[in-house]
Amino acid sequence: MPLLTCPPRQTRQRPRLSLKALWVLASLLCAASGASAGGETIAVLSSGGSAYMEAFTAFQAAHGAEVRHYDASKGKPGVPPGTRTVVAFGTRAASQSYPAWVNVVYCMTPGVVLDPQGREGRTVRISVLPGFGLILAKLKELQPSLKRLRVFWMMQDFAPYVESAKTLGEEFDITVTPVKADGIAQLPGLLRRGMGEMDAFWLPPDPFLITNESLTILRDFSWANAIPFYAPTKGLTREGAAAAVGVSFADMGAAAAAAVKDLEAGGTPAPVIFPGKVELTLSAAAAKKFRLEFQPEALLRAGNLLP
């Protein structure tokens, strides 16, 4: 029987992609990977602490879409391909080295200002303070007789903010006098020189000025002389301040979301954004020391009331 032979198998040549086509394909895959891995916006938290989580939760709710977040306390966060904006919560997160082309929106960083030089992306800081006009309005509501307010500060980054207070004070018939201290040791003398020339004093969230030693000095002076001491954060009402007018962590997160939405829409948000809402905390015990009686309206508007 003759042997049957099969015809030789014909193999089809696969088309070879040019280098240009491969480059385009790789770019498309990277873009798709970036969109699925982190989208255009990611968040970096300084740690998993409750304050950062409160701000991030409010940010995500206001942003309206799920945003992947990283914990900077566990190592340097990676920035996925396709990322356009990084939202940093806290000083550690804001101080990371991010690619020059991404936008950086950062909050909860008192006394920290990032240098935008050399960056292609925009840099937007969410202030830990509201506009000073909102602070003055609340202080006038708490203390209608307020005519002379002194503002003590140390860190140079607060200079533009406290200097602007002088002009804003005129709108409320309040003479605002910024007083720069070069060290904690100067505080007692500066306070004594203000006797008879101030009805109250206020501090920004200045990390150089706010220490255990300075808070003791400020509390003892204000209580002994019945001169109200106003603070920027609610925690300081437990250290002797009559009231705190500041911005809640949630409102900082919401303000960051508004800035991100503006960037995503092609807008150009201001380099510094002052949240438009304030958080009022009152201390009944401290108010008694100053013979200060809070009006019922102020009590109703207070977010926190300490006995």
The string of pLDDT tens digits covering residues 47-101 is 999 999 999 999 999 999 899 999 999 998 888 988 999 999 999 999 999 999 9
218 with 225: CB under 8 angstroms? Answer: no
Q: How confident is the model at residue 111 (pLDDT cuts 50, 70, 90)?
A: confident
Q: Is pLDDT above 80 for 17?
A: no
Q: Is pLDDT above 50 for 7?
A: no
Q: Is pLDDT above 90 for 22?
A: no
Please give the Cα distance from 137 to 119 (Å, whole number). 37
Question: 306 — phi, psi (to 5°)?
Answer: -95, 140
Q: Is pLDDT above 50 for 243?
A: yes
Do 61 and 203 have their domain in common?
A: no
Q: Does the residue 183 lie in any domain?
A: yes
Coil, helix or strand at residue 239: helix
106 or 162: whose pLDDT is higher?
Answer: 106
| pLDDT of amino acid 29 | 38
What percent of the chain has pLDDT above 70?
A: 87
Q: How confident is the model at residue 210 (pLDDT cuts 50, 70, 90)?
A: very high
- Tokens for 120, please give them: 């292609």
> 């919560």: which residue's tokens?
89
Q: Does the residue 232 lie in any domain?
A: yes
Burial of 221 (0-12, 13-18, 19+ CB in 10 A): buried
Please give the tally of structural domains in the chain.
2
Do 82 and 220 have their domain in common?
A: no
Q: What is the mean pLDDT of residues 139-166?
A: 92
Count of C-beta atoms within a 10 Å radius of residue 301? 13
Give the alpha-carbon dihedral of 141, 146, 147, 150, to 10 degrees: -110
238 or 37: whose pLDDT is higher?
Answer: 238
CATH code at 157?
A: 3.40.50.2300
| pLDDT of amino acid 64 | 92
Q: Which domain holds residue 111?
A: 35-128+251-273
Q: What is the mean pLDDT of residues 278-302?
A: 86
Please give the Cα distance from 124 to 107 (Å, whole number). 9
Please give the Cα distance from 304 to 12 (Å, whole number). 77
Do 163 and 301 have their domain in common?
A: yes
Q: What is the mean pLDDT of residues 173-199?
A: 95
The string of pLDDT tens digits covering residues 160-175 is 888 888 899 999 999 9
Q: Does the residue 27 lie in any domain?
A: no
Q: Does the residue 296 lie in any domain?
A: yes
Do 182 and 289 have their domain in common?
A: yes
Q: Does the residue 104 lie in any domain?
A: yes
94 with 114: CB under 8 angstroms? Answer: yes
Do 199 and 288 have their domain in common?
A: yes
Q: What is the mean pLDDT of residues 115-141?
A: 93
Q: How confident is the model at residue 28 (pLDDT cuts 50, 70, 90)?
A: very low
Kindly report whether the global pTM for this prediction surpasses the value 0.85: no
Do 220 and 285 have their domain in common?
A: yes
